[in-house]
Amino acid sequence: MKQARIKNVVRNVKSVAYHLFSVLVLGLFYMGCDDSISTVGIGIQPDTDKISIFDETFTISARTIKLDSIYAKTESGFLGEFYDPSYGTIKSGFACQFYPSIGFSTIDSIVDNKIDSVRLEIFYSSYKGDSLAPMELTAYPVVKPLEKHYYTNVDPATFCDMQNPYTKYAYTARNLTISDSILLVNGYQRWLSVPLPTRIGQDYFDGVKNNQYQTLDDFFDFFKGIYISTTFGSGSMLAVESSQISIYYTREHVLRNADDTEDSTAYIPMRAAWAVTKEVIQLNSFKNTNDAFLLEDNPDKVYIKSPAGVFTELTIPVQEIIQRIGKKKFSSIKLSLSAYQNESWDYTMQYPGGGVISASNNAKMLLIEPDSMKNFFEKQNVADNLTSFSTAFNFSTFTYDFSNIANVVQNAIEKAPDKDLKLLLVPILTTYTAQQSYYENSEIEYLSSHYLFPSGVALKKGEDNLKIRVIATDLKINDDR
C-alpha cells in the first residue's frame, strides 16, 4: 500500500514536471517563431509526450452592410450638414433635456420680478467643413418626454412641435465676432448664443417663486427639452461639447455707507442656468444620402462610414478552421486589416478609430458580434477582449490591428461549430480616466458609445488582404509512468 502511494506521488510529480516543461517549450516557440512555420512538433520531447503547435493562415470574407439605425444616446451632440465626395452627405441634429444647475440668487431682490432675456448657448470644440459656410439652425420645443433608449432613425416629429419653433438663428462655424484671445480664456474653441423667448425664463421664475418644482420630474414636466437642427445651409458640422440655457435677470443690491445705513442701490446683472449633464438625456438624429454606392459589391473595397451605420462585416471560416486544425486550444488569432488612403481635398473625412480625441476620450474601432451590439451600446460597455475587441487606427501602416481575437473564435467553435462566425467593425468613442502609479501611467476605460463625428475609411478586400493567422496547441501527456 505504501509503495502504491509512493508510485502515485512520483507519477504526479512527473506529470507536473512535464506540464511545466511543455509550457516552457511553448513560450520559447512563441519567442522564436516566424511566419513560415506551418505545423510544428517538438522533437526533443519523449515519444509518449507530445505538444503540437499549429500555425495556419486562413482567408476571411468581408462585405459592407448598413444598419437602419444606431444607438443615439451620447455625451456629445452634432449639428450641421456635411458632404464628402467619397462617402456622401450627412445631416445631424440633436435633442436634449436640461438640468437646472444654477438657481436664482436672492429671488426676492429681482427687479420687478422680471426676466431680462433667455439664450441657448452651444459650445463646440471642433467642426468639420467650411468654417464660413452660411448655416441656419432652428430650435423646436420638445413636447413629449424623451425616452432613455433612442436610435438615430427616430423621427423628431414624434416628440417635438415642428410647427411652432422657438427660434431660428444664422451662424457660421467660425464666429468672427469672437476674438481668439476670448476663445483661449473661455476654454472652448467656439460657441453660439441663440436667443430664446423670454417667456421660458419668466414662467420658470414664476414657478420657482411659487415652489412648483419640488423634484426633477416636476421640472421636466415644465420644460421637456429642445430639439436643434439645421434648416438652411450645407458645408459644416459642429461637434457640440455642451449646451446650456442661460436666464438673465437683474438683482437689486443695497449699498451701505460707513455708518451701516442705506446709501444707494446698485443693479447687478445675474444669470440662472440649465445645463446638459450626464443625469439627463441627449440624443442625436442623422440623415445620410448619396451613399448607396458604398453598399455595392466591390471586389477591391469594403467601407466603414460614421455616423451612417455603414459597417464592415467579417466572416471567420469556423468550419474550415475545424477541418484543418480541429477543435484545439487557440493560443493566438491575429487579425490585421489594411486601409486605403482617403482622397485628399480641403475637408477630407478623418479615419474612424483615429486615436486621441481629448483628455478623456479616444476614437477606436470595435470588433463585435452583431447580436451583442444592442446590449453593448445601451449599457455603454467597454471592450472586454473576450466577446469584443478594440484598437486604434495605425497611421504608420494604415491598418487596424487586433492582436488576439482567439476568445471569440474559440467560443464560436464550442457553441456553433457548424456555422461561420460573423463580426462587425464599428467606430466607437471611449471615455477613460488616467491612472498614475510609480511605474507607469495608464488609461482605464469605463464607457463606450458610437463615434458620431463624420469619418470614413475603405478597407482593402481580396484574398491577399483579408487573412487571419491562427496559432493553436494540442497537448498530450502520457501519465502512465
For 388-397, what is each residue's pLDDT tens digit?
A: 999 999 999 9
Note the pTM of the prediction, 2 decimals: 0.78
Q: Are strands 99-102 and 262-275 parallel, antiparallel or unpaired?
A: antiparallel
For 167-225, what is each residue's pLDDT tens digit?
A: 999 999 987 766 655 555 455 568 899 999 999 999 999 999 999 998 989 999 999 99
Q: How confident is the model at residue 334 (pLDDT cuts 50, 70, 90)?
A: very high
- CA distances (Å), origin 249, targets 99, 167, 270, 292: 19, 20, 5, 51
SS3 58: strand
Q: How confident is the model at residue 457 (pLDDT cuts 50, 70, 90)?
A: very high
Residue 442 pLDDT greater than 80, yes or no: no
Residue type, 32: G
Q: Are 379 and 448 in contact (CB under 8 A)?
A: no
Give the whole-angstrom CA distance, residue 189 versus residue 124.
7
Q: How confident is the model at residue 102 (pLDDT cuts 50, 70, 90)?
A: confident
Largest CA distance in the chain: 108
Give the whole-angstrom CA distance, residue 336 versus residue 467.
8
Give the whole-angstrom CA distance, residue 392 versus residue 360.
15
Residue 15 pLDDT greater than 50, yes or no: no
Q: Are 267 and 159 in contact (CB under 8 A)?
A: no
Q: Are 468 and 334 in contact (CB under 8 A)?
A: yes
Lowest mean pLDDT segment, chosen from 63-72, 148-157, 255-264: 255-264
Q: Where exactly are the structural domains of the chain?
A: 2-60+298-476, 77-288
Burial of 45 (0-12, 13-18, 19+ CB in 10 A): middle
Q: DSSP character for 18? A: H
Lowest mean pLDDT segment, chosen from 250-259, 287-296, 368-377, 402-411: 250-259
* Cα–Cα nearest to 65, from 303, 395, 243: 303
